[in-house]
């Protein structure tokens, strides 16, 4: 858990972001930039999931409910009420956090854990999808088209390089939040709740509040991702906003890479895009992605429960603990 504090750690991270910033200057093919944007976007959403699912251990199966909410808040404010898209971001984040509060309040008050919590979140995202499909304000199944009008003021860029910079900035903020969790009392409390709720409560952690705040933070972050999606594709419809594929991708990215770690979602996003982009040409039928995701998930949970990132990390060498906690005692028993 503790790491990244060294000057070398800082240098690596700084170099990584500096390198990423240079990508748009050298990569001019739009399809390569598009892939880079998608990788960072998935990593960002995976990091949002990771706050609640990885650090706090509340594994949701329906995080699309937050992404979709952010997407619709932005699209509706922009097209119906004529808001500037940049200004829709705060309400979108607040909307995601509010949905997080609602789901968290209901399920944590009821004491739902593990797969029960996962199922409840899935149910919420499905309800949201059905609502979006039938309500007038979301234009039902037709979806909402955002009119094209490129320009920085409109959060629309003719050049994909600028979108890349925006998603890189979002990723950097999410990265910073995860990093802060590793260093802060709030983060320590989330991890304590994940590891053992009773022990956490005994040591003064308000476990209900900790889980609730984690889900609100996670939901707000995911909602911002939804806003970005709308500006990038200029379109949103119920299955895109609230689809199960989105939820599964978010948890998968985090778990493949290593949930509860700062870099896990990025590693997972790169891995997942490598897998799905190389297999896409062979498997075009609808639903195949979900099957593929399922297989990947089973393999990861079965063989690499701490994610790909555990392959890179040096395991702490465990000193064989014979009987006493104090090494000074050793001689006495030898």
Partner 1 sequence: MLEAQSLTKAFGGLVAVRDASIKVPEGRIVSLIGPNGAGKTTLFAMVAGFLRPDRGTVTFQGQDITGWQPHRICALGMVRTFQITQPFANLTVLENVMVGAYARIANRLEAAELARKVATRVGLGARLDQPAQGLTVAGRKRLELARALATQPKLLLLDEVMAGLNPTEITEIVQVIRGIRDSGVTIFLIEHVMQAVMSLSEYTYVLNNGALIAEGEPKAVASDPHVIEAYLGHGAAERIKKGNAHA
Binding positions for partner 1, rule: CB under 8 A: 1-2, 183-185, 188-189, 191-192, 195-196, 198-207, 316, 318-319, 321-327, 329, 332
Asked if residues 123 and 60 have their Cβ atoms less than 8 Å apart, the reply is no
Work out how close the CB of 305 gets to partner 1 at its nearest, in angstroms, rounded to a whole number.
11
Nearer to partner 1, 15 or 203 (CB): 203
Nearer to partner 1, 191 or 216 (CB): 191
Q: Extract the tokens encoding 13.
A: 């991270």
Torsion, Cα 164 165 167 170, to 10 degrees, reads 170
Who contacts 121 (Cβ-Cβ below 8 Å, separation ≥6)? 60, 61, 62, 63, 65, 103, 107, 247
Task: Give the relative orientation of helices 207-233 and 30-50 as an angle to the nearest 10 degrees.
Answer: 160
Nearer to partner 1, 153 or 203 (CB): 203
- Chain centroid to Cα 320, Å, comes to 37
Q: Smallest Cα–Cα separation from 200: which of 213, 185, 215, 220?
A: 185
β-partners of residue 321 are: none
Work out how close the CB of 333 gets to partner 1 at its nearest, in angstroms, rounded to a whole number.
8
Work out how close the CB of 189 gets to partner 1 at its nearest, in angstroms, rounded to a whole number.
7
Work out how close the CB of 329 gets to partner 1 at its nearest, in angstroms, rounded to a whole number.
7
Q: Tell me the C-alpha distance between 297 and 251, whole Å.
A: 9
Nearer to partner 1, 284 or 323 (CB): 323
Nearer to partner 1, 10 or 233 (CB): 10
Work out how close the CB of 260 gets to partner 1 at its nearest, in angstroms, rounded to a whole number.
9
Asked if residues 309 and 264 have their Cβ atoms less than 8 Å apart, the reply is yes
Work out how close the CB of 315 gets to partner 1 at its nearest, in angstroms, rounded to a whole number.
9
Asked if residues 257 and 308 have their Cβ atoms less than 8 Å apart, the reply is yes
Work out how close the CB of 306 gets to partner 1 at its nearest, in angstroms, rounded to a whole number.
9
Q: What CA–CA distances, in Å, run from 38 to 45, 86, 182, 314, 317? A: 10, 20, 26, 30, 38
Nearer to partner 1, 205 or 221 (CB): 205
- Cβ neighbours, 10 Å, residue 319: 7
Nearer to partner 1, 158 or 202 (CB): 202
């Amino acid at each position: 858990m503790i790491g990244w504090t060294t000057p070398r750690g800082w240098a690596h991270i700084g170099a990584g972001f500096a390198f990423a910033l240079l990508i748009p200057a050298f990569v001019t093919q739009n399809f390569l930039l598009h892939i880079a944007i998608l990788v960072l976007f998935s990593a960002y959403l995976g990091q949002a999931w990771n706050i609640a699912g990885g650090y706090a251990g509340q594994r949701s199966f329906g995080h699309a409910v937050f992404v979709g909410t952010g997407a619709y808040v932005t699209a509706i404010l922009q097209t119906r009420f004529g808001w500037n898209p940049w200004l829709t971001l705060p309400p979108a984040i607040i909307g995601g956090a509010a949905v997080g509060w609602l789901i968290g309040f209901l399920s944590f008050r009821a004491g739902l854990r593990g797969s029960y919590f996962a199922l409840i979140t899935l149910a919420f995202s499905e309800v949201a999808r059905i609502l979006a499909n039938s309500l007038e304000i979301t234009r039902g199944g037709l979806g909402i088209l955002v009119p094209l009008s490129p320009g920085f003021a409109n959060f629309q860029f003719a050049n994909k390089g600028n979108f890349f910079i925006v998603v890189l900035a979002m990723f950097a903020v999410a990265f910073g939040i995860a990093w802060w969790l590793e260093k802060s009392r709030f983060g320590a409390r989330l991890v304590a709740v994940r590891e053992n709720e009773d022990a956490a409560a005994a040591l003064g952690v308000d476990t209900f509040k900790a889980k609730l705040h984690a889900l609100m933070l996670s939901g707000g972050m995911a909602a911002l991702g939804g806003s970005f999606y709308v500006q990038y594709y200029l379109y949103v419809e119920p299955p895109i906003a609230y689809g199960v594929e989105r939820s599964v991708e978010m948890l998968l990215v985090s778990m493949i890479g290593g949930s509860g770690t700062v870099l896990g979602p990025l590693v997972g996003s790169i891995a997942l895009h490598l897998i799905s982009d190389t297999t896409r040409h062979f498997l075009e039928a609808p639903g195949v992605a979900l099957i593929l995701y399922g297989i990947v998930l089973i393999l990861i949970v079965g063989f690499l429960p701490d994610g790909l990132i555990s392959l890179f990390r040096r395991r702490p060498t465990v000193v064989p603990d014979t009987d006493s906690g104090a090494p000074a005692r050793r001689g006495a028993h030898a």
